[in-house]
């Protein structure tokens, strides 16, 4: 049933180690997962689904999953470090140009990569992307709170306090995840899946990454104004990421289109799999030379 020959490898980059996996064969598609501070495990099924006619590359971002760092600090966690990892990976796999699918924070990193290495990109898919600047920080926490019931909010506060007091057991992190997951989903049946995913986040890496993005005044608009490769911007109508974030990217990226999926939250391949994959495959099929 699996048409995919999965390979796995480790690459050294200036004291850090990058873990990656590939699925399938053909034109390369890099998948950058969300976070920051999360491993790529939750994206294996997505990578597998898209690998029937191409090579899909998945990797653990620095300091997450099986990718290791000598230490976690503002020196090792930065957007520049993230870019360097992508270039090390691309060169090691002997790829001249690849298509990149970035989800959530991964969409922000993909946009930053496109701003810095436009010649290395064949096309871009921004899936529930955090955007091309930091505007989402003005509204995203409010949207998360609004999508939770008062019971969920109380539960989230309770478990956050337990974790802050030093209880970082998996059971406690999972209970926190169960309270938080409904914010990200339209279909509640996926709450256990996303709750488990939410236990995998590294809070320190997450905080350091956002600090770095504020420090560098993360904004790709000027650089992306000249980017003319095809871009698909896809997200749920009920996403915590607002439509205005997608529209801003669309206004800057001249060869882009926005697809909004109804009855769909932050994870299109869970809430609206048929339309999510149909739109992505349709976009990818047009890239064939």
- What are the tens digits of pLDDT across the range 155-177? 999 999 999 999 999 999 999 99
Report which of 174, 136, 178, 190 is spatially closest to residue 153, judged by C-alpha positions.
178
How large a percentage of the chain has pLDDT more than 70? 98
> Do 271 and 264 meet the contact criterion of CB atoms below 8 Å apart?
yes
On the question of pLDDT at 194 being above 90, the answer is yes
- pLDDT at 15 (0 to 100): 87
Measure the CA–CA gap between 167 and 228, rounded to whole angstroms.
49
- pLDDT at 288 (0 to 100): 66
- pLDDT per residue as tens digits for the range 229-287: 999 999 999 999 999 999 999 999 999 999 999 999 999 999 999 999 999 999 999 99
- pLDDT at 2 (0 to 100): 44
Measure the CA–CA gap between 224 and 171, rounded to whole angstroms.
43
Report which of 151, 145, 103 is spatially closest to residue 124, judged by C-alpha positions.
103
- pLDDT at 3 (0 to 100): 43
- pLDDT per residue as tens digits for the range 55-108: 999 999 999 999 999 999 999 999 999 999 999 999 999 999 999 999 999 999
Measure the CA–CA gap between 173 and 145, rounded to whole angstroms.
18
Q: Which spans in the chain are helix H?
A: 44-49, 79-92, 105-116, 140-146, 150-164, 170-180, 191-198, 203-215, 221-224, 243-252, 268-271, 273-285
Residues in Cβ contact with 60 at an 8 Å cutoff, skipping those fewer than 6 apart: 18, 19, 20, 39, 40, 66, 67
Calculate ∠ Cα 214-204-99, nearest 5°. Answer: 65
How far is residue 184 CA from its own chain's centroid?
14
Residues in Cβ contact with 149 at an 8 Å cutoff, skipping those fewer than 6 apart: 182
- pLDDT per residue as tens digits for the range 25-60: 999 999 999 999 999 999 999 999 999 999 999 999
CA distances from 21 to 83, 89, 100, 124, 215 (A): 18, 11, 15, 20, 32
Measure the CA–CA gap between 65 and 200, rounded to whole angstroms.
9
- pLDDT at 14 (0 to 100): 81
On the question of pLDDT at 5 being above 70, the answer is no
Tell me the average pLDDT across 177-184: 97
Measure the CA–CA gap between 149 and 134, rounded to whole angstroms.
27
Measure the CA–CA gap between 76 and 57, rounded to whole angstroms.
23
Tell me the average pLDDT across 190-196: 96
On the question of pLDDT at 1 being above 60, the answer is no
- The H-or-E segment that residue 29 falls in is strand 28-32
- Beta bridge pairs of residue 58: 21, 31
Residues in Cβ contact with 67 at an 8 Å cutoff, skipping those fewer than 6 apart: 16, 17, 18, 19, 59, 60, 61, 85
């Amino acid at each position: 049933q699996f048409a995919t020959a999965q390979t796995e490898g480790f690459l050294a980059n200036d004291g850090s180690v990058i873990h990656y996996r590939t699925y399938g064969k053909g034109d390369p598609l890099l998948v950058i997962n969300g976070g920051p501070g999360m491993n790529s495990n939750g994206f294996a099924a997505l990578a597998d689904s898209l690998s029937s006619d191409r090579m899909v590359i998945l990797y653990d971002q620095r300091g997450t999953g099986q990718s290791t760092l000598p230490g976690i600090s503002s020196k090792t966690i930065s957007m520049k470090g993230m870019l360097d990892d992508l270039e090390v990976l691309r060169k090691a796999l002997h790829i001249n140009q690849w298509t990149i699918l970035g989800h959530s924070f991964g969409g922000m990193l993909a946009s930053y990569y496109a701003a810095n290495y436009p010649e290395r990109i064949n096309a871009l898919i921004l899936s529930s992307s955090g955007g091309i600047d930091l505007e989402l920080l003005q509204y995203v926490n409010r949207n998360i709170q609004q999508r939770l019931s008062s019971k969920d909010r109380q539960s989230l506060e309770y478990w956050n306090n337990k974790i802050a007091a030093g209880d970082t057991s998996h059971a406690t992190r999972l209970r926190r995840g169960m309270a938080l997951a409904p914010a990200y989903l339209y279909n509640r049946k996926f709450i256990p899946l996303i709750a488990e995913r939410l236990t995998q986040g590294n809070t320190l890496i997450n905080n350091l990454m956002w600090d770095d993005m504020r420090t560098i005044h993360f904004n790709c608009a000027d650089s992306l104004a000249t980017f003319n490769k095809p871009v698909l911007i896809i997200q749920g109508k009920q996403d915590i990421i607002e439509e205005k974030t997608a529209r801003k990217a669309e206004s800057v990226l001249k060869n882009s289109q926005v697809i909004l999926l109804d009855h769909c939250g932050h994870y299109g391949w869970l809430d609206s799999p048929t339309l999510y994959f149909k739109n992505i495959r349709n976009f990818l099929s047009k890239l064939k030379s």
